A and B are shown apart, each in its own frame.
Chain A
Amino acid sequence: MIAELGHYALVLALSVALVQATVPMIGAWRGIPGWIGSARPAAIVQCLLVIVAFGALTYGYVTSDFSLLNVASNSHSAKPLLYKISGVWGNHEGSLLLWLLILVLFSGAVAVFGGNLPAPFRARVLAVQAMIAVGFTSFVLFTSNPFERLLPAPMDGRGLNPLLQDPGLAFHPPFLYLGYVGFSMAFSFAVAALIEGRVDAAWARWVRPWTLAAWCFLTLGIGLGSWWAYYELGWGGWWFWDPVENASFMPWLAGTALLHSAIVVEKRDSLKNWTVLLAILTFSLSLLGTFLVRSGVLTSVHAFATDPARGVFILAFLVAVIAGSLTLYAVRAPAMKGGGLFAPVSREGGLVFNNLLLSTACATVLLGTLYPLFLDAVTGEKITVGPPYFNMTFGPLMVPVFIAMAVGPMLPWKRGDLLGALQRLKFTVLATLVAMFLTLALAFDGPWLAIPGIALGVWMIAASLEEGASRIRLFRGPIAESLRRLSRSSRSAWGTTFAHAGAGMVIIGIVASSAWQVEKLQVMRQGESQAVGAYQFRFEGAVPLDGPNYAAVRGTFHVSRDGKAVAVLQPESRRYENPPMETTEAAIRTGWGGDLYAVVGDPTGDGAWSTRFYTKPMIHWIWIGAFVMVFGGALSLTDRRFRIGAPARARNAARRAGIAVSTASK
């Protein structure tokens, strides 16, 4: 009964979406206030209906209602409650419903909080959002209905893919989707602006917080996903350039470029065409990502639920959305006149540089991801494009981005002076040189690429800090003056500081963990020891163990360094019953210096076990850095110019005080 209510709510949501996609659009075109006004309630109603539908499916999972085909295929009564809930989106139908839920939540948020948008513009934005919702709701209803019944109901379900039964993964898809779908806001704003034929600083200011929020979620989602791959897949790696990873990384790259180009539109009224195009492309790449994951067009370790028949539907939708918006772009883009001019060396110039390289990097990833498909389609040859391609192309493209990242925020708008900016980065240059010599001295026998790599990370972090310090004139005047400046400075500038420093931390983590990791694979008997770098791993034996829905073998390793005990590692090798599958649970001990990583594999049959150890110096910097980046993004979101009504209030207050305030110079 509950499930039927959910199904019915979804059908209603489709009808509401159809209305919301058309009526406000016509209303805005013809200038009919009542029709324009219909967008807001429609978005809220549609949002509530999808919440009901999602709630109904969740209810089916929590109560283990196996008369629902979807629940029976993907859940099991012996599963812990957390994974019953995460099971809702751990399958094709449910994950699409989650996608849809997030889409309408964003629309609902615009309807409720978008009071500062002009009503016709808001109506158009919501209509575009509704068009996307129409596509996805019909996709769910007509090809992937999660509310299908299975009669008679089986006694128990088939279970969730054990790889997905993990807290890291349980919450990684929602964040990823919040990111993917969040970019739909940038898309809808761009399409609405193209229809209106107007892009200005105000538009950029509206679109930026949504893009920033989506970017934060996507960063978090990618971070969680790679962390999961690191400890659950048991290969010691955290990024594999797998098609599905790339599918989430491409929108991230495009979205990062969009964030930066939107600043130029907001502050300088320039780069409008490009920004609108990027907004369209970013969401297009998100849709492409959804398509790649869901259709099984590419082979991937992630291909959990694939069905080519559904692929045709989603591809048709994809082409309609992307081709439609790009056609609109081709027709309307000339109407938008560019604004302020700028010299190549300037803040704008730096941001253009960032955009060119980020979008080229994104195109390389796209090419590498789709190349096996192109080749297969044309010649029938099967290949995979692996990490060497991406390391050779993507890496070199990003290095200049990272170098410029330090200098960019130091350059003034319009016209800058490179030498002057470098002079203001004295401390940074010094810190980078010191880092180079220290790396050389401490890790003399390591790979030489580690030296410029570490230096690059230090360069980015130091420059962010130095730029932040110079903003509040730290150490250059009385501390009270610095504190006063700190309380007045804009949070979005501090957001930049944190995000850039976080990126530097990620670089250091990547470089250090890959340059100086030690890996040992061997067969061990109880009582044997193995040296791994400076550490000794002693195997204390392996014992069988029963979990709630799996049987496991747990190995115990005592790790010591110079005779002193450091850690006890207990990795597991699990065998799940429903569905039958083996997973590894790596044991990881995180210390200040880095991670100790142990995996216990299969018994060789004569009392010995295959084991694998790694030491990975500073690898946690990757995820801490990602988190710092997200923190920077979130901090920037709290900037007063994004707060609802805040800019208007500030303007009014200033006007009362008789001071002319130019929003563009804030």
Chain B
Amino acid sequence: MGEPGLGQQPRSTWLRLLPLAVALVIGGFLFVGLGLRPKEIPSVMLGKAVPAFDLPALPGRPKGLKTADLNGQVSLVNVFASWCVSCRAEHPLFMKLKGQGIVPVHGLNYKDEGPAAMDWLRRYGDPYDRVGADLNGRVGIDWGVYGVPETFLINAEGRIVCKHIGPVMESDLKEKLLPAIAALRNGGTAKC
């Protein structure tokens, strides 16, 4: 959108129509854009098997986490760290899940220190079945973790069905995760 008529009148009809054309193209894209969900970053891991890994347990806590543990039943894997603020926001929800026994929740303790993580679990409660200590974050990279917290839904075949970025809120659980878990349990497929 530039030069038409600097000083004189536009040289041609086409130049005069240029601003209109540009505006219409942008408008078309904006219309398409309304249907897009820019916040949902698709994970390349979706539908793939859980990467091969074997993480030790946290010091003073039994049960580490490895690939084979995620086979056989539907489960959630929650990436957390004691230094992560939003993890505290979603924490009570996982405590509730544990209390109700709906689905096993495993923890992936990401770039943390063993004692700090244990302190954190003692203070706020321990909702996890198994917790793998990923001290240097190497396994997190294989999982495609880019921030904490993230939560993965794993089906009984050990495939990643769904990835939630950021803290899981009550509404996410009700509208997204729980229906997907129910669908998987009934032998169906789930997308979220």
Contact = CB atoms under 8 A, between A and B. Distances in A.
Given A315-B34, A342-B7, A359 B2 contact: yes
Contact of A319 (B6, B27, B123): B27
Prevailing SS type, chain A contact patch: helix
Contact of A308 (B6, B13, B34, B83): B34
Contacts of A326: 19-20, 23
A81 B41 CA distance: 40
Contacts of A291: 30
Interface string A321-348: 0110011011001101110011000000
A372 interface: yes
A125 to B, nearest CB: 21
A359 B1 contact: yes
Given A277-B19, A322-B23, A297 B9 contact: no
Nearest to A277: B19
A318 B36 contact: no
Nearest to B85: A602
Contacts of A80: none
A609 to B, nearest CB: 12
Nearest to A332: B16
A273 interface: yes
Contacts of A277: 1, 4-5, 19
B24 interface: yes
Interface in B10-44: 10, 13, 16-17, 19-20, 23-24, 26-27, 29-36, 38-39, 41-42
Contacts of A296: 38
A360 B82 CA distance: 48
Contacts of B120: 605
B10 A308 contact: no
A376 B40 CA distance: 12
B192 interface: no
Contacts of B24: 319, 323
A656 to B, nearest CB: 37
A575 B92 CA distance: 17
Interface in A246-302: 270-274, 277, 280-281, 284, 288, 291, 295-299
Which of A281, A296, A326, A355 has the most C-beta atoms of chain B within 10 angstroms of its own C-beta? A326
B116 interface: yes
Contacts of B142: none
Contacts of A200: none
Contacts of B39: 299
Interface residues on A, range: 35 or more
B16 A330 contact: yes
Contacts of B2: 356, 359-360
A312 interface: yes
Contacts of B16: 329-330, 333-334
B8 interface: yes
Contact of B30 (A281, A315, A341, A605): A315
A291 to B, nearest CB: 7
Contacts of B38: 296-299, 372-373, 376, 382
B17 A330 contact: yes
A338 B5 contact: yes
B6 A336 contact: no
A298 B27 CA distance: 14
A295 B19 contact: no
Interface of B: 1-10, 13, 16-17, 19-20, 23-24, 26-27, 29-36, 38-39, 41-42, 82-83, 85, 89, 116, 119-120, 123
9 contacts: A318-B27, A323-B20, A330-B17, A334-B10, A356-B6, A373-B30, A373-B33, A382-B41, A602-B83
Interface of A: 270-274, 277, 280-281, 284, 288, 291, 295-299, 308, 311-312, 315, 318-319, 322-323, 326-327, 329-330, 333-334, 336-338, 341-342, 352, 355-356, 359-360, 363, 370, 372-374, 376-377, 382, 580, 582, 602, 604-606
* Those 3 A-B pairs whose CB atoms lie nearest each other, nearest first: A273-B5, A326-B20, A297-B33
